[in-house]
Amino acid sequence: MQFGTKSKTTPSGLPVAGWWRRGIATLIDDVLGFTVIWFAGLISATIIGKVIWTAVTQTIVDVRTKLGDVVDGIASSGNVQQQIQDLINAYRASGKTPNDLGNLIINTYIDNLHLTVMQGLIIFVCIAGCFYFAIYNHIIRVHRKGRSLGDGLVGIYAVTDGAFFPSYRTAIVRYLCMGVIAGAISAVGSFSSSLANATNVLTATVLIVDLLFPLFDKHGRSLHDLIAGTYTAHPDRFGYSLEHMTATPASE
């Protein structure tokens, strides 16, 4: 397939997407991803916070019951921190070992950490939803339509040498490769504090190079495009749309 020539084109002749256009697409995808994660995190944190708070308040009641006459006469009102401190003071005044009280509180608290099936299901759906959005937007859509949601809004596509959409394997490599590289470098730094600063700088450098690489590559590719064997095209510059195209042939 040959679609024409411009100053920067893919091997098949499609015009390369401009750097700013790619940046805007990435920003849109990041904002969408952050919004999904934030919303799911808010729901999950609310449920977990409720479970923890219920466990703390119930633990105080249960511990007071188990201690019996040791805490007779101590007010059961006031904030949670004050109630726990009153329990500790009463236990010390009774001549009992404070460590025993600590173990009693911890074990009772653990026993009271009950996550209902519905709460667990909601948290699971939130976590699964975040993963699905990332997979759908950056892998499934890129394979089927050649573009993420952000790419679609600015009119750009991810294509292979033959101007076909990437296979699932290629889309996965394209999406994950920079994260894997950055993660591997950071992991090296986690083993030694003396290496941490150097690996942090190297990680940032790799990500910046990936961002700026299209400005210097003759086909306008980022590092993740280079590794995956893909190109980011803007065919609308020729008035040509790839919407009708199918995914990469099985032979690729």
| pLDDT tens-digit readout, 83-92 | 777 777 777 7
238 burial (CB, 10 Å; 0-12 / 13-18 / 19+) is middle
pLDDT the model gives residue 161? 86
Strand partners, 247: 165
How many Å apart are CA 52 and CA 58, to the nearest integer? 10
Buried b (16+ CB within 10 A) or exposed e, 143-156: bebbbbbbbbebbb
Regions of the chain with pLDDT less than 70: 1-6, 68-80, 93-98, 237-252
CA atoms within a 13 Å half-sphere pointing along the CA-CB vector of 109: 12
Count CB neighbours of 182 within 10 A. 17
Count CB neighbours of 209 within 10 A. 13
How many Å apart are CA 236 and CA 15, to the nearest integer? 9
Give the chain's length.
252
Buried b (16+ CB within 10 A) or exposed e, 29-56: beebbeebbeebeeebeebeeebeeebb
